Amino acid sequence: MHPLLILASILALAPSPAGATPANKRPEARVTMRTHMFRGAYEPPKNPQHQELYEFLKKSQVLGKFSDGLSALRLPRPLLIKFAGCDGTSNAWYEPTDGTVTFCYEYVADMKQGSAGSDAAGIPAQVAFEGAVVFILLHETSHAVFDLLKVPILGREEDAADSLAAFLLLRAGEGLARRVLGGAAWMYLHDSKGRMPDDSDFSDVHGLDSQRFYNVLCMAHGSDPASFKGIVEKGYLPKERAEGCADEFRQVSYAVKKLIDPSMDAQVWARTRAAHKARWEVPKTPPAAEAQSR
């Protein structure tokens, strides 16, 4: 090849100088970031067996409360979060092409069934069920946030989505975090005991259910070791892992403050916290003691 052609090919592959704009590209239009960009939908189920779950989810207004809780986050376009029938597939996912999080009724039904044995672990079945649903909603929404805000990720995105979901719950309030993370932890513990892992589990983009179980507990303990010391004292979280959980929580906290918080509207978040404070914080008086005092 002629030396001049070689030079031209090298220059074509070289990065543009700082501040230079390629001649064939115009500056992109400024993207407007807005709050209150979450939308919820309950599609009628395809399977009649899911009708009861459909009615329950609609009546509980889970998507309305969920969207309201995230309303302070500015996004460049709306995000639709929906429950839908998936023709027998038990799953939940984010689809970037149309900006939609889909949560299958089949998956909700599996969670409902799996929560039945949680009472033995000290978690009421309804709390375990609802906590698992909300955590997965947050997990899949975290994928959407990474995409819409162009958040850089080192490591596996599935781990990052779990970490962001847990962090947002812990920042919202200890009461909410205890209920939801308790349900999520039970879900992962239950699933981890369902069968022995094989090559498909080790090669999967998700961590093992048992690993996700310990990661959720570690985030909770690391956020406030004194408040969550019980999970170590009762043997759910090994002491060796617990020793580094505060550092793990600070690592996630730093990433969120650097990469996501700039897109949060402080005033909207303050109003949201004030509106939900009674439900999100730990009650000053345990419900049982309160009932006895009446």
Question: Which among 155, 166, 143, 141 is positioned nearest to 62, based on CA atoms?
Answer: 141
Q: What pLDDT is recorded for position 283?
A: 62
Q: Order of strands across the sheet with 79-84?
A: 38-42, 79-84, 100-104, 92-95
Q: Is residue 272 part of a domain?
A: no
CA 80 – CA 78 distance, rounded (Å): 6
pLDDT of residue 38: 96
Among residues 183, 127, 174, the alpha carbon closest in space to that of 281 is found at: 174
* Residue range(s) defining the domain that contains residue 112: 32-197+204-262
Amino acid (one-letter) located at 50? H
Tokens of 206: 């998700």
| pLDDT (0 to 100) of residue 118 | 82
- Tens digits of residue pLDDT in 80-125: 999 999 999 999 999 999 999 999 999 999 999 988 888 767 788 8
Closest-CA residue to 130 (of 91, 192, 187, 81): 187
In-domain check, residue 39? yes
* Rounded distance between C-alpha atoms, residue 244 and residue 225, angstroms: 11
> Rounded mean pLDDT of the chain?
86
Phi and psi (nearest 5°) for 195? -165, 165
Is residue 94 one of the residues assigned to a domain?
A: yes
- Measured CA to CA, the distance from residue 286 to residue 291 in angstroms comes to 9
* Beta bridge partner(s), residue 178: none
CB within 8 A of 12, min separation 6: which ones? none
Say how far apart CA 96 and CA 171 lie, in whole Å. 26
For residues 25-43, average pLDDT: 81
Please check whether residue 236 lies inside any domain of the structure. Answer: yes
CA-based radius of gyration for the chain: 22
239, part of any domain = yes
**Cβ burial, residue 1 (10 Å; 0-12/13-18/19+):** exposed
In a domain, 253, yes or no: yes
Q: Report pLDDT for 190.
A: 82
pLDDT in tens, 59-74: 999 999 999 999 999 9
Q: What is the pLDDT of residues 161-215, one digit of tens each?
A: 999 999 999 999 999 999 999 989 888 888 887 777 788 778 888 888 899 999 9
Task: Specify if 4 maps to a domain.
Answer: no
What's residue 194's pLDDT? 73
For the entire predicted model, the pTM comes to 0.83
| E strand segments, 56-108 | 79-84, 92-95, 100-104
CA distance 129 to 144: 23
The Cα angle at residue 246 between residues 244 and 252, in degrees rounded to 5? 105
- Structure confidence at residue 28 (pLDDT): 52
Domain-embedded: residue 16: no
pLDDT tens column, 171-182: 999 999 999 999
Token pair in block for residue 214 = 């310990």
pLDDT confidence band for 279 (50 / 70 / 90): confident
Q: How far apart are alpha carbons 250 and 39 in whole angstroms?
A: 31
Amino acid letter, residue 263:
S
- The rounded distance, in Å, linking the Cα atoms of 250 and 243 is 13
Q: What share of the chain is helix, strand, coil (3-state, %, to 5)?
A: 60, 10, 30
Q: Which two tokens stand for residue 56?
A: 């329950």
pLDDT in tens, 122-141: 788 898 999 999 999 999 99
92-95 and 100-104 as β-strands: parallel, antiparallel, unpaired? antiparallel
Number of domains in the chain: 1
Determine what percent of the chain is predicted with pLDDT higher than 70. 85
